[in-house]
Each structure stands twice: as C-alpha cells, then as structure tokens.
Chains A and B, each alone.
Chain A
Amino acid sequence: MVTRRQFLASASAFAGSAGLGLLPNTTWAAPTSPKPSKLVAIVTSTYGPSLEAFATEWTKQTGIPVEVISQSYDTTYTKIVTALAGGSPTDIVIVDSIWTAGFVQAGFLQPLDKFVGGAVKDLVPVSIQQRMIDDKIYAMPISNEAKFFYYNADILKAGGYDAPPRTWEDVTQISKELKEKKLVKAGTIWGWQQSEGLVCDYAALVHGLGGKLVDDKGQWIVNQGAGVKALEFMVDQLKSGAADPSSISLSDRQVVDSFSAGEHAFLMSWSFALGALNNPKNSKVVNKIKLDLVPGFASANTKSTSVVGGSGFGITATTKHADWAWDLIQFATDKTRQIEIFKIRSNVPVWKDLYSNPTVVEQYPYISQMERQFEYATWRPNLAGYAELSGILQLHIHRALSGQASPQQALDQARSEMAKI
C-alpha cells in the first residue's frame, strides 16, 4: 500500500528525474512502526549542511524533526564512538570507509541489506563494496571519493606546457623549471600533516610504485620495496623543493586554501577541492584549475594511481526506529538529492546511471573526468583496529618527512609497533 506522502515524494522525484531523463528512484516500503519524536544524526561538517537541508524537506513530509550534529572530520570519529559507547540515543551516523570495520566489530551498526535490497545493482560497485563487511551492507553510500590531480593550467601554459605531466618524474622536472622561471613558489603542495590524509597520499604513492600496504596474509609490508620507495619519493620532493616545505604542517583540507592562492602548479586532493577552487569568494584561481588523471611512475610503468574513500550513512544497532531512519537515509541519498549536492559541492555520484545520463554529464562535466580515476585507485585496509594502526604509521611517516629518521628506519619502527597491535 502506498501512502499519500510516498506517492507525492516519488511523483516529484519521478517528475524531477524524468525531466532530467533519469530512471525513477526505487519506491521503498513505507515504515510501519509508530513515528518517533525525533531522529538524531551525527555527520561530518562536509555533509552537515546538505543533510540539514534534506532533513528540513523530509520533516515537512513526515512531521518528524531531525537533529543533525555535525563537526569536523577528525573529531567526528570520537564523537560517534563516545555517543554510541556512552549510550546517547542516536539513530543515524556517518560511516567513513575506514571506520566501517571498527564500527561493525564494536557492534555500533546494523546490517542494511533488508532495506537496500535490489537497489544494490544500481550503485557503483566501488561505493557499495567499501560499505560491506562479511558480505553484509552496513552503510548507504553518499559519495564516492578518490584523490584527483588538479593543476593550474595558466601557470603551466606560461611555463610552456599545454598538457599536464603523466608521470611523477615529469612533475619533478616541470616543478624545477617553473620554480626557476619564478612562476611558482613550489611545484606541488600537499596536505602532509600528521593525520589520516597523510596515509591516504602514502597509500596512493605506494600503489603507483606497484606495491601494497598489506600483503595477502594480512601482514603490513610498509618497510619493504614500494613502501620504502614511496616514502623516499616524498622526502626527496620536500628536499629538492619540488614540494612546498609547508606541506608537512597542512591538513588535506587546509592545503586547498593554500593552493587557491595561485602560487603552486599541482595539487592532489579530494573531489570537494574542485568546488572550493572555483568559489570566487575565497579562491584566486577561479576557472584556472583543470582536472586530470593522477600521474603514475615511469620507474614502475604505472599509468596512474589514487586511493578511494567516501562515506555512507549507517543505522545504529541501538535505534528503536530503524525503518524511519532508513526512510530519511534513502530520501537523502536518492538521485534527485545527489544532483542537488552537485550544485553545492563537486560530489562524485554513487548511482550508476548518473554517470551516463546526457543531461547530467553535460551540466556537470567534471563527473566523467573523475570517473576515469577509479580504475587506477587502491583501497586502504578495512580492518577493525585501523585507527590505531594508521596513527602509528602517520607518526613514523611524519618523522621521516621532518627529517628525524631515514625512511627505512621510520618504516621499520612503524612496522614493529604495528605488529604488536
């Protein structure tokens, strides 16, 4: 039985998506339990504003108020852990890819298979696979993420280059030339502060050099082969001046602000950077930035590399209103809402047909550019104790970057400490 509200919602979504030529959203089963007095959601500040806007819409249709608690990415993890371990009533939490295994092991999330159902086949595989543990789905994807390569086309042109470099060896060479011609302060600027963003870049570089972080037996092999070569590359970039020395004190969010000043040629960053760099309020490089595949390494014969990320909305195991929580989640993640997020920030969609829909693609050309990157991207290990392991790795990589230890020494120490966990 379809309720009046459901009919109106799907009719407007149908009309909206029909206008864009999309397939209609799946109609979900109506929630049968009594209406809750309110729903509580904990999300990162990246999605906070969007979720609040969608929740206001949803509240108009259902009459259930939604409390959205949002804070920066780095503090959201502790916020969720303390809220759920402490027993605060929470219904929906955002689940970053690397938090999935830990949250599932701690019993924070409930499986969503019965809710997602057949819609799985309409989702981009890499977005749903990262949300699955033991073949069960634990979060509904909101966004696909990977690291993309941004370059300042104007600066490159002034330096005599029409096309961006295809290998990191070329990047080093071009950076040197641009610096000599005084077109840049440094070729590349990175977000290599001691935090998760550092491990993301490191993982992408290891992959680009043909290696892995963890071998097939589950052992961390960062102190061998490509693991060491990647860190040596990072240290060399800083020493030679190809990378801006201030990189080691910038987070992967702050680095976008620095890049927007127009003093660097290359940046490797997440999808949100495109929107931020083209925002005339803060950026000096509006419409000068282009997107391309991250360079590979000539020495390893790789065409490109990247690391995936992204998040999803999960339903807590302790909620008493799982079906209403799901109602809100499917509302906030359906195709119409995905497109509305494109207008606010350059998000990468999770629904397959948004990539091939001609209207969407024409209006948002960056989507097809970003889609190409996923073919070359690697994952970070999805382990329960990932936060602690990553913390150790971040510390030692940063020691090598700040010159306190050689790459081999730092990684050896990291490896031995991680083995004790």
Chain B
Amino acid sequence: MTSLNLANESDQRLSAPWRSGFREPSETTLAWLLVLPSLAVILGVKLYPLLYSIWLSGFKVSVLSPVSRYVGTDNYVALLTNPNFQASLGRTLYFTVVSLIIQMVLGIAIALVLNTPFRGRNLVRALVLLPWAVPTVVNAVLWQWIYHPQFGALNGILSVTGLIDNNVQWLGSPYLAMNMVILADTWKTLPLYVIMFLAALQTVPEELHQAAAVDGAGLWKRFVHVTLPFLKPTMVVVLVLRTMETFRVFDIIFLMTAGGPAGSTTVIGYYAYLEAFRNLNFGAGAAAANIIVFSVALISLVYLRLLRTRAFE
C-alpha cells in the first residue's frame, strides 16, 4: 500500500511539468492525423477517376467519332435491358457463388487439418501458402497449359490412368470452361482462406472441446457448436473480401479464355473491357464499370450490416 502511494506521488510530480508545456492531442484528432495521409492518396488516386467515370457514363462517347452527346441514363438502361449483359451478370453471380462455396468449405477443412498436430505440420503449412505467391498471370498461363487438350498434364494423367479415352477440351466446352477457370482461381486463392481460418482456430479454447467431449458430443456436433461460432467473425471478413474480388474478376478470364468459348466466360468485368476497349464505346464501358462498382458497394454494405449485428450478439 505504502509503495503504491509513493508511486502515485512520484507519478504526479513527473507528469506535472509535461502537462503545462505539451498538450496531448485528443483521441479523435490523433485518429484523423494518422488516417490523413492514406485518405489523401485515396481521394486523389481513386476519387477523381471514379467521378470522371460517372460523368463519362452519361455521354455517348466513342473514340471512333469526334462528337459526344449527353444521354443521361440511356447507357445504363441500354446495358441493363441488354440480354448479353444480363447473361454476363448471371455468369458473374455463378462464378462468385460457386467460388465462395467451394473455397469456404475447402478453406475450413484444410485449416482444421492443419490445426491438428502431426509430424511435418510446419512444412505442410508452408507449402499450403505457396500458391498465393504465384502471380495471377503466371497462374493463368500455368493452368492454361495444364488444360491444353493435346499437351496438357490433366489429359495426360487422366488417359494414363485409363479414366478417359479421348482428350477432353477443358477450355473448349462452354459449360466446362467456366468451372475449370473457377478451379484454377481456387488453387491460387485458397491459401488466404486457410491462413485466416487457421488464425481464428487458434482462439478456440481447448477446454470447451474437452467439456463438449465429456458431455458426449460427437466430432460433427463439436465442430458446429464449439468451433464454428469462433470462426463466424472470420467467415464474414473473408466473405466480404472474396465477394468483392470474385465479383470483379477479370485477369484470369482475360488470360485463360478471353471471354470464350462462345462467350461462356464473359463476366461483367470482361464485358466492360470489351465495351470500352474493343468496341471503343467509352460511355457504355464506363456505365458497365460503374454498375460493377455500385453492386460491389451494395454487397459490402449488406455484409457490414451482418457483421455489426453479429458483434452485438
């Protein structure tokens, strides 16, 4: 007790000279000061192009013609009523939903495996991270070669093991191509899920599992009632990040299939690119790009609502 009092007194003596000369900024001011540099960059680099794009989408602008006229929301209406654009939107939703389901399930499963102790676990954890280090371009070309009908490894393995007689056109068949692109994208992005879920799994107290086991809960019941609640916040974060990324997918489509075969992998990101850079209709291209931006923003808002309600549970 006495030592505490002495400590308090000395504290006051030390802090008094500080208080008269230097005023510590309040927390709000400090927060703003720290955020200001990044805010300046974001406003400068992102806000201006976004505003310009919104302005551009109100015009019928084509590089091929020197005249541009104001058309208001015509570009947006034309796009949303265009069956090709609607089909594109449908394909993007398919890509997003299927990617997320496969990657979430696999991500959690692999994280669970990597959470249980076994020999060489650290090596396996390091190896699981490797696909994330591969650049998207390299990943696309890599899988393009694996899927090559004549020289590809996939057909090679399948025919050597006798599972197929003729070479399969993995990227040549409209329904197959989209799923093979999803597979290629999954291989590259899975490490993100694994890392985040693995981190979340570390927060699950071992005693809860033991208590549940003592109560007679099986493996599945323990997973659903003990592990899953701890994973939920991470799941929402990962969902928000990955929904935004898969909705905007472009580079892997551009490199692997160029929107084909027969337009079956033309997602809205690629559609916007074609509209702006092949058809040279900058107004329509800007409108398509803005539709993507608004959709992604809407989805993020929905998720953030979900996150807020969860935090208060």
Contacts and interface: CB of A to CB of B under 8 A. Distances in A.
Q: Do A and B bind each other?
A: yes
Interface of A: 74, 77-78, 81-82, 85, 102, 105-107, 193-195, 245-246, 248-249, 258, 261, 263, 384-385, 387-388, 391, 395, 398-399, 401-402, 404
A81 B258 contact: no
Given A78-B277, A194-B259, A194-B263, A249 B63 contact: no
B21 interface: no
B66 A107 contact: yes
A246 B262 contact: no
Contacts of B279: 385, 387-388, 391
B247 to A, nearest CB: 23
29 contacts: A74-B258, A77-B278, A81-B277, A102-B280, A106-B64, A106-B65, A107-B66, A193-B258, A194-B258, A194-B260, A195-B258, A245-B169, A248-B172, A249-B171, A249-B172, A258-B150, A261-B150, A261-B151, A384-B64, A385-B64, A387-B280, A388-B278, A388-B280, A395-B262, A395-B263, A398-B261, A402-B172, A402-B262, A404-B262
Given A82-B277, A391-B274, A398-B261, 15 more contacts: A81-B277, A102-B64, A105-B65, A106-B65, A107-B66, A246-B149, A246-B169, A248-B172, A249-B171, A249-B261, A258-B150, A387-B279, A398-B262, A402-B174, A402-B262
A248 B262 CA distance: 10
The 3 closest A-B pairs by CB, nearest first: A194-B260, A246-B149, A249-B172
Nearest to B263: A395
A24 B244 CA distance: 63
Contact of B63 (A74, A85, A194, A263): A85
A78 B262 contact: no
Nearest to B173: A402
Nearest to B65: A105
A388 B169 CA distance: 27
B169 A249 contact: yes
A288 B173 CA distance: 33
Nearest to B282: A85
Nearest to B66: A107
Contacts of B151: 261
B64 to A, nearest CB: 5
Interface residues of B, number: 24
B280 A399 contact: no
A385 B63 CA distance: 11
B179 interface: no
Contacts of B261: 193-194, 248-249, 398, 402
Interface in B249-298: 258-263, 274, 277-280
Contacts of B63: 81, 85, 106
Nearest to A101: B64
B167 interface: yes
A116 B44 CA distance: 47
Contact of B280 (A81, A249, A258): A81
A263 B149 CA distance: 13
B61 to A, nearest CB: 10
Nearest to B277: A78
A194 B171 CA distance: 12
A74 B280 CA distance: 15
Contact of A246 (B66, B172, B258): B172
A249 B149 contact: yes
Contact of B262 (A77, A194, A258): A194
B274 to A, nearest CB: 7
Interface string B161-195: 00000010101111000000000000000000000
B278 A398 contact: no
Nearest to B261: A402
Contacts of B64: 102, 105-106, 384-385
A193 B149 CA distance: 13
A238 to B, nearest CB: 10
A165 to B, nearest CB: 24
Given A194-B260, A398-B260, A246 B167 contact: yes
Nearest to A389: B279
Contacts of A399: 262-263
B163 to A, nearest CB: 18
Nearest to B274: A391
Contacts of B259: 194
Interface in B123-174: 149-151, 167, 169, 171-174
Interface string B42-77: 000000000000000000000111100000000000
Contacts of A385: 64, 279
B270 to A, nearest CB: 12
Contacts of B66: 107
Interface string B190-210: 000000000000000000000
A391 B260 CA distance: 11
A95 to B, nearest CB: 15
B75 to A, nearest CB: 15
A177 to B, nearest CB: 20
A192 to B, nearest CB: 9
Contacts of A402: 172-174, 261-262
B43 to A, nearest CB: 22
A320 to B, nearest CB: 21
Contacts of B174: 402, 404
A295 to B, nearest CB: 24
Contacts of A107: 66
A246 B280 CA distance: 31
Contacts of A77: 278
A193 B66 CA distance: 33
Contacts of A102: 64, 280
Contacts of A263: 150
Nearest to B170: A249
Nearest to A105: B64
A255 to B, nearest CB: 10
